Structure 1
Amino acid sequence: MTLEISEYLQITGYPEKKIQCKKCSHYICSADENYKIFSAMKEDSIKSANPQNYDSRQYVDEDIVFRQFYCPNCAVLFETEINVKGAAPIWDIKLV
Structure 2
Amino acid sequence: MTRFLPVTIKFVDGSTTVVSSIAGAKKALGGRWKNKEAIAYGAAVRLVDDALSGICRPAVAFAAFKEAAKEQGLLKPANTSAALAMLDKLWSRDGG
Q: TM-score, with normalisation over the residues of structure 1? A: 0.26
Larger relative contact order (C-alpha < 8 A, sep ≥ 6)?
Answer: 2
Q: TM-score, with normalisation over the residues of structure 2? A: 0.26
Greater fraction helix: 2
